[in-house]
């Protein structure tokens, strides 16, 4: 079979557009609704998507006055969705800065067992002082320190997932031997950030490790991805930038001694689909009208690390902005936004309009064929292995994509019409990790 | 309606008896099986049980050679069970020593939303050095310190659950106001163990707080229960001891300024049910034959804080054992076992036989009517508000209890034939907590 596209649905209650909850058909309580999430996952599974995904941060992130802002904890929500789906992958975001590796490794191993091998972990280091202040700190650790901790966190987690061999359980009722003791081992980890004895209290799971996903595009983030990630979410506003990111990341993966085909690159896209171009553009414009500018201005100022007072709606961004190096938050998001505004010479108001929908991700507005064409163009020109689908409005946006765009791509032989594998790794064509504990025991490594 | 019994099913893969996994009909992979847990929860729900419950510790607790020892993480497993049940309560154990209050408060609030108000939290401080060594410590914190941390943990968690008022969400699409900003507040907690800004990133849940459950029966444990618990699991081997515990706990609750009726006391019982007494005793004996003594000996020695070498199978316990005060682990378990062995003048082998089945809990072996009679006797004589049902063999033990014992109690008017309420608190007849944030704002408290 020829190379195949991969699709992830980025779940986001009523949609990725800031104002989507205000549309007449939207359920403003969707963020807390199991039924709403079950519906989205089912639509994506019916369309044979590889996975669904939940973003997260352990802090009340959005202004609760402005849009639905509470979020159910992702690993629990996905454990619920595991029951009402059977094939689609389930990717939860969790922070390496504000969790203990034993607890988190265990939750992902549990999700992998509960779902029959469909768990994925979007690894984040969590930007922002507000999150830090929910965990006894005065402010966030340095960007570099967060990534150092993340690296050791992954070392501990993978050791824990290797602490049972795949054949550890005998279940010999006759002799009363459940597991072979020498195939369940402590990890004795002693590092800079963590000391963990192990073994994990969950046997090795169907996928061995959850699919490891990463989304930060700073220098540290890309190096971390090159070492650990198997799928990468990224925000790239143009084809050329996607191509550059794609080539750069695959090079880094090779340099880290890994097979570049074992990392799938998934740019985020916001499909706005109409039966005609005019219809699609009208939907786009309606959403922008619903956003008030004050809130968006404050959010933009926060990302840029400046005072909201210095931004004027009908003028371009000020010349004088803090460099990426000075920002300890989401570095790559900031750089993307500034580059974009300067290149297209946008006023602050225009910039806010674009960010409301896509937050730096590429918006594909058009007919189903136009959207399919653009996807194919990216896929066949070294810009993407698939896409992270971020509909502006949910569930309408994913229903339109699933029923109108997916069939075109299936007809073109670019996307599966049936699931071929059982696990999330199999959907993405990624190998199941070998057990390093066994390799070590045999002296292979 | 007259006072009603309450029943909780203590989920434990193939059963609470050490050797249950070795029975011909047992699934030795039940500990990792969603389907096995779904079945147990469904049987309990069909019998109108108040709740199901999962014990837990963040460590590989049992010898993996001996019996199924890996465990799925309870909050995730219960999030899955929330989908295939609709009325029964879902109680997960989680440790205050090895979690952050923000993360755990959020997971329980999420479980409460996902289940429509059926979440419960069995609060434990986690005994044992092995668990501590999975979290960067050399050994467990002192018993007293663990309870001090637990107390502050609950203070933080309840503040977080109060950080949104019940009426905070307006969802006014017209004016673009989702929540009222002054009804979502930071908690600014500054304590000895924790500094947490809040607010929680989950709105107030159907029950406001999960049902708060506690099971330690040490001095510290009982004082903690008196202050915080709404349901108490306890191991009491005789009617007289149950009565003494019950009266003592209710007194402590009153002394803490709370209504004694707002705490339900649920002793653990191991029902071993046969259609005849002889059949029940034969099942009991078969299980004991399956336990090898070496493992049980080591486990007993660990609980008592002694070297296994000093225990002899066919002699009584040695006179010289460490006092409860010297033990930093599960204090009350140790005292219970020693008292029991001395009172009944048991050899170590006999003691092990009893512990294999009930681990200090009362075993009710007999016909359905005999078991129902004993339950009624406890219930009507100040020994219990209900029971934590711990079948030696699962699912057979709960199927027998549900179909043979429950109907007798229903006929006697002692147990519901239909659920009356929607939430776990309503099943147990407990009030929904008022929001202290609102009370504070109004100057009431």
From B430's Cα to the closest Cα of chain A, the distance in A is 24
State yes or no: pLDDT of B263 exceeds 60. yes
Reported ipTM? 0.91
Nearest to B111 among A19, A76, A178 (CB): A76
Say yes or no to pLDDT of B289 above 80: no
d(CA A171, CA A175): 9
Which residues of chain B from 106 to 145 reach within 8 Å of chain A, CB to CB? Answer: 106-107, 110-111, 113-114, 130, 133-137
Q: For residue B162, what pLDDT band results from cuts at 50, 70 and 90?
A: very high
Chain B from 34 to 73: CB within 8 A of any A CB = 34, 57-61, 63-73
Among the partner residues A72, A168, A198, nearest to B202 by beta-carbon distance: A72
Please give the Cα distance from B406 to B416 (Å, whole number): 9
Helix pair A74-84, B74-84: axis angle to 10 deg: 40
Name the minimum distance, in Å, from the CA of A248 to any CA of chain B.
36
Identify the closest residue of chain A to B70 by CA–CA distance.
A202
> Is residue B37's pLDDT more than 50?
yes
- Determine whether the interchain pair B114/A76 forms a contact, defined as Cβ–Cβ distance below 8 Å: yes
CA distance A1 to A417: 12
Question: Is pLDDT of B146 > 60?
Answer: yes
Three-state SS for A54? strand
Is the pLDDT at B2 greater than 90? The verdict is: no
Task: Say which DSSP state A402 is in.
Answer: I
What's the pLDDT score for residue A3? 94
Nearest CA to B432 among B190, B150, B97, B166?
Answer: B166
Cβ A83 vs Cβ A90: under 8 Å: no
3-state DSSP assignment of residue A117: coil
Contact A21 B107 (CB under 8 A): no
Strands (DSSP E) found in A129-241: 169-172, 177-179, 189-190, 195-196, 211-214, 231-234
Chain B contact for A293 (CB, 8 A cutoff): no
Q: Please report the pLDDT score of residue A201 as a whole number.
A: 97
Residues of chain A with pLDDT under 70: 1, 62, 290-292, 295, 324, 327-331, 356-360, 438-445
**Helix H segments across A216-347?**
219-228, 239-255, 277-290, 293-304, 331-343
CA-CA distances (angstroms) from residue B137 to A106, B103, B129, B192? 18, 20, 8, 18
Cis previous bond, A199, omega within 30: yes
Are residues A113 and B197, on separate chains, in Cβ contact within 8 Å? no
List beta partners, residue B8: B51, B388
In this predicted structure, what is the pLDDT of residue A123?
Answer: 98
pLDDT at A342: 86
Q: Find out whether A367 is annotated in a ligand binding site.
A: no
Inter-axis angle of helices B348-358 and B277-290, nearest 10: 110
Residues A106 and A112: their CA atoms lie apart, in Å, by 10
**pLDDT at residue B225 in the model:** 97
A252 neighbors A390 (Cβ within 8 angstroms): no
Which tops the pLDDT comparison, A174 or B63? A174
Contact at CB, B178 and A21, closer than 8 angstroms: yes
Look at A39-43, B103-107, B219-223 and tell me which has the smallest mean pLDDT.
B219-223
Chain A partners within 8 Å of B71 (Cβ): 201-202
Which of B28, B84, B134 best tests the A interface by mutation, with the highest count of A CBs <10 A? B134
Q: Which of chain A's residues have a Cβ under 8 Å away from the Cβ of B157?
A: none
The secondary element (H helix, E strand) that includes residue A90 is strand A89-95
Give the residue among B160, B191, B213, B180 at the shortest CA–CA distance from B53: B213
Residue-level pLDDT at B330 = 67
How many Cβ atoms sit within 10 Å of the Cβ of residue B195? Answer: 16
Which of B80, B98, B196, B200 should be substituted to probe chain A, the one whose Cβ sees the most A Cβ atoms within 10 Å?
Answer: B80
**Over 60: is that where the pLDDT of B348 sits?**
yes
Measure CA A248 to chain center.
19
Residue with tokens 């310190």: B145
Query: Are B232 and B215 spatial neighbours (Cβ–Cβ below 8 Å)?
Result: yes
Question: What pLDDT score does B444 carry?
Answer: 31
The dihedrals phi and psi of B319, each to the nearest 5 degrees, come to -65, -40
Q: Report whether A28 contacts B178 (CB < 8 A).
A: yes
pLDDT at position A416 is 98
B143 is annotated as contributing to ligand binding: yes
Q: How many helices (H) and strands (E) does chain A have?
A: 16, 13
User: Would the CB atoms of A176 and B135 count as touching at under 8 Å?
Assistant: no
Distance between CA atoms of B260 and B250, rounded to whole angstroms? 5
Whole-prediction pTM: 0.91
Alpha-carbon span B260 to B430, nearest angstrom? 11
Note the pLDDT of residue B89.
98
8 Å CB contact of A34 and B83? yes
User: What mean pLDDT value characterizes chain B?
Assistant: 91
Burial profile A109-148: b = 16 or more Cβ within 10 angstroms, e = fewer = bbbbbbbbbbbbbbbbbbbbebbbbbbbeeebbebeebbb
Range of lowest pLDDT (A204-208, A225-229, B123-127, B178-182): B178-182
Which range has the top average pLDDT, B182-191, B310-319, B344-353?
B182-191
Question: According to the model, what pLDDT value does residue B67 have?
Answer: 86
Instruction: Give the separation between CA A231 and CA A246, rounded to whole angstroms.
Output: 12
Q: Is B93 annotated as a binding residue?
A: yes
Q: Average pLDDT, stretch B331-358?
A: 78
Report the distance separating Cα A378 and Cα B399, nearest Å. Answer: 57
Distances in Å between the Cα of B150 and the Cα atoms of A403, B107, B124, B223 are: 52, 17, 8, 12
- Mean predicted lDDT score pLDDT of chain A: 91
SS3 string, chain B, reads CCCCCEEEEEECCCCCCCCHHHCCCCCCCHHHCHHHHHHHHHHHHHCCCCEEEECCCCCCCCCCCCCCCCCCCHHHHHHHHHHHCCCCEEEEEEECCCCCHHHHHHHHHHHHHHCCCCEEEEEECCCCHHHHCCCCCCCCCCHHHHHHHHHHHHHHHHHHHCCECCCCEEEECCCCEEECHHHECCCCEECCCCEECCCCCCCCCCCCCCEEEECCCCHHHHHHHHHHCCEEEECCCCHHHHHHHHHHHHHHHHHCCCCHHHCEEEEEEEEEECCCHHHHHHHHHHHHHHCCHHHHHHHHHHHHCCCHHHCCCCCECCCCCCCHHHCCCCHHHHHHHHHHHHHCCCEHHHHHHHHHHHCCCEEEEECHHHHHHHHHHHHHCCCCCEEEECCCCCCHHHHHHHHHHHHHHHHCCCCCCCCCCCCHHHHCCCCCCCCHHHHHHCCCC
pLDDT in the model for residue B328: 66
Helix H or strand E segment including A268: strand A264-273
**Residue B259: Cβ-neighbour burial (10 angstroms; 0-12, 13-18, 19+):** exposed
Walk me through the domains of chain A, giving residue ranges and CATH numbers.
Answer: 6-273+361-441 (3.20.20.30)
User: In this predicted model, what pLDDT tens digit does every residue of B185-220 receive, in sequence order?
Assistant: 999 999 999 999 999 999 999 999 999 999 978 899
Helix, strand, or coil (residue A239): helix
B256 vs A: CB within 8 A: no
What is the per-residue pLDDT across A156-193, written as a single tens digit (0 to 9) for each?
999 999 999 999 999 999 888 999 988 999 999 999 99
Give Cβ neighbours of residue B38 (< 8 Å, ≥ 6 apart). Answer: B80, B81, B84
Radius of gyration of chain B (CA): 22
């Amino acid at each position: 079979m020829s190379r195949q596209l991969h699709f992830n649905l980025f779940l986001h209650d009523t949609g990725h557009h800031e104002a989507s909850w205000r549309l007449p058909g939207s359920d403003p309580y969707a963020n807390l609704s199991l039924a709403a999430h079950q519906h989205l996952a089912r639509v994506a599974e019916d369309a044979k998507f590889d996975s669904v995904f939940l973003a997260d941060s352990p802090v009340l992130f959005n202004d609760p006055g402005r849009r639905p802002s509470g979020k159910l904890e992702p690993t629990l929500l996905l454990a619920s969705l595991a029951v009402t789906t059977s094939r689609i992958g389930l990717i939860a975001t969790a922070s390496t800065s504000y969790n203990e590796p034993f607890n988190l490794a265990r939750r992902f191993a549990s999700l992998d067992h509960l779902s029959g091998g469909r768990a994925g972990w979007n690894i984040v280091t969590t930007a922002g002082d507000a999150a830090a202040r929910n965990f006894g700190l005065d402010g966030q650790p340095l960007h570099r320190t967060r990534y150092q901790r993340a690296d050791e966190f992954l070392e501990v987690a993978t050791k824990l997932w290797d602490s049972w061999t795949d054949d550890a359980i005998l279940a010999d009722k006759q002799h009363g031997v459940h597991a072979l003791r020498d195939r369940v081992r402590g990890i004795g980890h002693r590092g800079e950030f963590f000391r963990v004895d192990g073994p994990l209290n969950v046997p090795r799971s169907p996928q061995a490790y959850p699919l490891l996903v990463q989304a930060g595009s700073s220098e540290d983030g890309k190096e971390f991805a090159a070492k650990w990630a198997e799928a990468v979410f990224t925000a790239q506003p143009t084809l050329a930038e996607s191509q550059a990111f794609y080539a750069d990341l695959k090079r880094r993966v090779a340099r880290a001694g890994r097979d570049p085909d074992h990392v799938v690159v998934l740019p985020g896209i916001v499909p706005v689909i109409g039966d005609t171009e005019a219809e699609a553009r009208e939907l786009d414009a309606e959403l922008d009208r619903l956003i008030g500018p004050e809130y968006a201005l404050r959010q933009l100022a926060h990302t840029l690390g400046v005072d909201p007072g210095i931004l004027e709606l009908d003028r371009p961004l000020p010349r004088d902005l803090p460099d990426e190096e000075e920002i300890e938050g989401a570095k790559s998001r900031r750089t993307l936004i500034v580059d974009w505004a300067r290149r297209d010479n946008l006023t602050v108001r225009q910039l806010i309009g674009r960010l409301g929908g896509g937050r730096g991700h590429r918006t594909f507005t058009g007919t189903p064929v136009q959207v399919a064409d653009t996807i194919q163009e990216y896929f066949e020109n070294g810009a993407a292995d698939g896409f992270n689908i971020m509909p502006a409005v949910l569930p309408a946006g994913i229903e339109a994509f699933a029923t109108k765009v997916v069939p075109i791509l299936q007809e073109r032989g670019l996307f599966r019409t049936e699931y071929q594998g059982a696990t999330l790794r199999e959907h993405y064509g990624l190998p199941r990790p070998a057990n390093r504990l066994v390799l070590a025991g045999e002296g292979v490594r």
